[in-house]
Every structure is written in structure tokens, then in C-alpha cells.
Amino acid sequence: MTARHVVVVGVSHRTARLEVRERVSLGEDAARELLRSRVDGGCVAEGFAVSTCNRTENYVACADPIAAELAVIDALAAMAGLPATVLSGHCYVWRDGGAVRHLFTVASGLDSMIFGEAQILGQLRRAGEHAASAGVIGRVTDRLLRDALSAGRRVRSRTAIARASVSVSSAAVELARGVLGELAGRRVLVVGAGKSGELTAQALSAHGVEVVVLSRCPEKAALLSGRAAGLESLADELAGADVVLTATSAPHPIITRDALAAALAARGGRPLLVIDLAVPRDVEASARSLAGLTLLDLDDVQARAEANLRARYADGARAEHLVASEAGRFERWRASLGAIETVSALRRRADSIVESLLADNDPRWQGLTDADRERVSSLARAVASRLLDEPTRRLKAADAMSLATARELFGLSSAVS
């Protein structure tokens, strides 16, 4: 008997605050322990768990979805040190088609905090690897995960939900390309070695630029770039840069209008792009009027990121349609498992009836030869098989509700679940 039902029990940024998500977060060992305990307990046949900063979800295949749901919630609550009744208030539960549709939506980035992000694909892939190494993944959940990953890749390749950058650092790079065109070979000056500077330097590295990082701590700046120096080199570096991205935590402007005017005068007419990501701003606002200078601030960058996010959402309906189509494909496969079991149980029942009737009537056939007995036996089995041919074809194409009805009509409910 195949555990065909699929259940997901999850907690995410949509249902719980960070302090709750932290308590149910599962490392590799914790996920293995949780799933192994549920499998050993008999409530779950197989499964996998995915745990990120924004979600912890347990996907299981089972024969009894209600028992599996309660078992997973109890295990999560025990790990989190919370009463199950409290944790369940933060959980969402989807079963069968709903669970499949949810996973495919997650894999496509449509349920992520950053709409359309692709990081979840790698996280799901690792979840499958961990479950496989723990020996808790099986036929249904392995197929479920593989199809979800395929759906996620297909949605991203056929829609625009992941093509526009929505992070501040990536949007800053897009603005730079919009102003200057191709960035390869350009010299980019990053002022500040904090998180914003680090992310921006990483975003720029893919474009073949020469990055110079200036910071009050040159040793830290050197970790982000091959060239690093202290802020005392600012005036010289301004004159040689094509793009300046500044993101320090200074309480007042560190790049003055006069410093930029001097840098522009030394550039022989070459324009300069400055993108100020700092709050408070690193660049004096009055510098915006300087000829040859394009000065953009965080508002400009965020506007670009928000426009990109709107572009992603604009293709959301098409992405959801693809998700529904891919989830429907898996559901047809899952339903076929029930059809195979139902057909097998029906034919076993027919064979049992034939054998019983032949045995009951055997004493009345004393005058039959062995050959006659074999012909009667073959005829009885052929009649039963012929009668089941059409029901078999229809059952193989039936949905879950029709299969349940057929099991009830033929008295197979106890044989298949």
C-alpha cells in the first residue's frame, strides 16, 4: 500500500514573527531527527523538511493525513519548547492538491519575502539531499520535490518574475549601467566597507569592473577588493573613478561639493557618476548642480528597485498559471497511484470470488475430466476479467473522488487507503 496523501505543516514570515520562526528553525540534524521519529512512529511514511530564515516546512507522505499533521505539529512544538496548541496557531497546513500547489508556489519564488527570488531552489535541493541521506525520503516525496524544482526553473525561464533586480545593491548597479552603458573596464570607487558596501562590491564584481574600496579600516576593505585604502585617499581616487558608490555610517557628509568640483576639474571633461546609498547622506546635496556630475541617492535607487519589483509582480499571474499547470501534472501522477492500487484490489477481489466459487462447486463436478475442469476454470476467470476490462480503463483515468466511490461500491475501502 502506497502512502499517497501529501501533507505540509509550515511556519513562515506570513504567519509568525521572527522569534517564533527562530524556535522552529531546523538544522540538518534536527530535521533528520524530526522526520525519522515520525517515520518510526508510523504516522509518516516518508518526507523532507526545508528550513530558511523565513520558513520552516515539513512535507510528508502518509496514509492518514490527520494523524500525520498532528504528529508533525507535536514534534515541532517539542523542539521549539512550545505547547502544541500555541504553535498550531502559527502553522498552516495543506493537504494533497493544496500541499502540492503550495510547494510549487514556494519553489517558484511566489511565496518568498522577496518576490521571485531564486535562492529557495538551492535550499529545496539541499533539503532533498539531507532527507535522502537520512533515509526518510521516498517515492512520493522524491517525485514531489523533483517536480517542484522543475516547476520553479520553468516559471523563472518563462516569466519575468526573477529578471529585474530588487535589492538596493543590484538596483544601484542597474542605474550605473543605465547612465554609463557597459561597465566592463570601468573604475568603481566604493566608499565604506560595511554591509551595503560589501553587497555592492559583490554585485559589481560580475561586470568586469576594477573596484577600489576606501574605508576607515583598510584591512577590512581589503577583504572586499584587491585594491583598498584609507579615506585619506578619497580626493585622488575621486579624480580617477568612473563611478563612486558611497555607503558609510558617517553622521555628516564626507564628500563635499568642493571635493567633487576639484575632481571634475582634474578629469578633463570626463563625466562622473556618484550613487549615495548612505543615510544620512555621504554627499552634499548641493553637489547635484555641478556640470558633468550625475548624483543619485538612496531614494533614486529604491525607486528603481520598487519599479523592478512591480515588473516582477506584473508577470505574477502568468507565473501562477504555470504553477497550477505543473502542480496539476503531479496530481495526475499521484492519482494514478491510487488507480493502480484500486484496480489491483478489484482484480484480487474478482480472483478470490472465482476461486471460492470453483472450490464450492468442485464436489458437484465428479463426472468432469481434468481437462473439463481446467476449461471451466479458465472460462470463469475469462468472464471475470472481461467484466473488469471497462471498469479498469475508467478507473485508470478517474480522479481521487471517483476512486473513493469505486472502492466503496466494490467494498475495497479496507484494502486501499
Distance CA 84, CA 313 (A): 36
Handedness of CA 73, 75, 79, 81 (dihedral sign): positive
Q: Of the residues 53, 62, 91, 217, which is catalytic?
A: 53
222 burial via Cβ count (<10 Å: 0-12, 13-18, 19+): middle
Known catalytic residue at 217: no
Give the bridge partners for 246, in sequence order.
191, 276
Here the cell at position 237 is 581616487
Let me know how many helices (H) and strands (E) the chain has, helices first.
16, 10
Structural contact between residues 145 and 123, judged by C-beta atoms closer than 8 angstroms: no
Structural contact between residues 189 and 272, judged by C-beta atoms closer than 8 angstroms: no
Residue 61's alpha-carbon distances to 74, 90, 131, 331, in angstroms, are: 17, 22, 13, 13
What is the DSSP secondary structure assignment for residue 278, as one 8-state letter? -
Distance CA 239, CA 257 (A): 14
Residues marked active site are found at 53
